[in-house]
Amino acid sequence: MPIEDRDDAYLITHALAKDTLSRLRDVETTQVAFRKGLVKLGRICGYEIIDGAMETEYVTIQTPLAETTGERVKGLDNVVIINVLRAATPFVEGLLKAFPRAKQGVISAGRDEEAGMDDDGGFPITIDYVKLPEITEKDTVIVADPMLATGSTMCSVLDHILENAGVDPEKLFVLSAVSAPDGLLRVDNEFPEVDLLTVSIDDYLDDDGYIVPGLGDAGDRAFRTT
């Protein structure tokens, strides 16, 4: 079973996903290896979503030698991937290897870290740029962001997506590499219709809202900023 139901979220349990995440966590992992690791993890997660959450259908195929029955994944033309800038960019590059015909959207969202966490344990979020494709009732929407910490960014992003969509998509996934229990709870409370997929549920958030043990600041490590 590639995706395990953990009540608060669905865990992607593929051994290669865990292996890749472990390399991403390592403080010694360089920028290039970190970025490539996020691409690889996105690809693995994409394959696991297909295996665990999408249907297949039988089709008749003529090979050069004989007619046979094959199996095809249904709905690959009805996938929408939303890239939460900026840390999700390499993660989405990997996802697109599994869903090459996906419609894509981007939302630029950032935490106001100078403002600090509020009394509810969330951050003020600035949304700078939103460009989303049409979302239909047939679509499987995957909102990708490698880090789900307090959940503030994801809640703002989901507000924009659902307001813009006007209709409920067939499936709505939030995909993260590393998540914190508080963030999962916040998104689940505010958007019960969303299925939360993650490779790891980590222990806690520190006083600055960073996931522990986590992997540090994913955007900074991938883009070599501080």
Ligand X SMILES: O=P(O)(O)OC[C@H]1O[C@H](OP(=O)(O)OP(=O)(O)O)[C@H](O)[C@@H]1O
Ligand Y SMILES: O=c1cc[nH]c(=O)[nH]1
Q: Which residues bind ligand Y (CB under 6 A)?
A: 87, 147, 149, 210-211, 214, 217-219
Which residues between 169 and 198 bind ligand X (CB under 6 A)? Answer: 183
**87 in contact with ligand X (CB under 6 A):** yes
**145 in contact with ligand X (CB under 6 A):** yes
Three-state SS sequence of the chain: CCEEECCCCEEECCHHHHHHHHHHHCCCCCHHHHHHHHHHHHHHHHHHHHHHHCCEEEEEEECCCCEEEEEEECCHHHEEEEEEECCHHHHHHHHHHHCCCCEEEEEEEEECCCCCCCCCCCCCEEEEEEECCCCCCCCEEEEECCEECCCHHHHHHHHHHHHHHCCCCCEEEEEEEEECHHHHHHHHHHCCCCEEEEEEECCEECCCCCEECCCCCHHHHHHCCC
Instruction: Kindly give the pairing relationship between strand 211-212 and strand 204-205.
Output: antiparallel
Instruction: Write the single-letter amino acid at 79.
Output: V
Among 111, 175, 188, 194, binds ligand X (CB under 6 A): 111
Please tell me whether 217 is known to bind a ligand: yes
Q: What are phi and psi of 40, to 5 degrees?
A: -60, -45
Q: Give the binding range for Mg ion (CB under 5 A) out of 30-38, 58-66, 77-85, 210-218.
A: 210-218
Q: Pick what 211 binds: ligand Y, ligand X, Mg ion, none; C-beta below 5 to 8 Å, kind-dependent.
A: ligand Y
Nearer to ligand X (CB atom), residue 46 or residue 183 = 183
Nearer to ligand Y (CB atom), residue 49 or residue 218 = 218
Nearer to ligand X (CB atom), residue 50 or residue 199 = 199
**149 in contact with ligand X (CB under 6 A):** yes
Nearer to ligand X (CB atom), residue 56 or residue 126 = 126
**170 in contact with Mg ion (CB under 5 A):** no
Residue whose pair of structure tokens reads 């249907």 in the numeric block: 55
State the minimum distance, in angstroms, from the CB of residue 58 to ligand X: 40
**217 in contact with Mg ion (CB under 5 A):** yes
Please tell me whether 141 is known to bind a ligand: no
Instruction: Kindly give the pairing relationship between strand 171-179 and strand 195-201.
Output: parallel
Which residues between 28 and 67 bind Mg ion (CB under 5 A)? Answer: none
Interacting residues with ligand X (CB under 6 A): 84, 86-87, 109-111, 123, 145, 147-154, 183, 209, 217-219
**Residues of the binding site:** 36-40, 86, 111, 145-153, 211, 216-218
Interacting residues with Mg ion (CB under 5 A): 217, 219
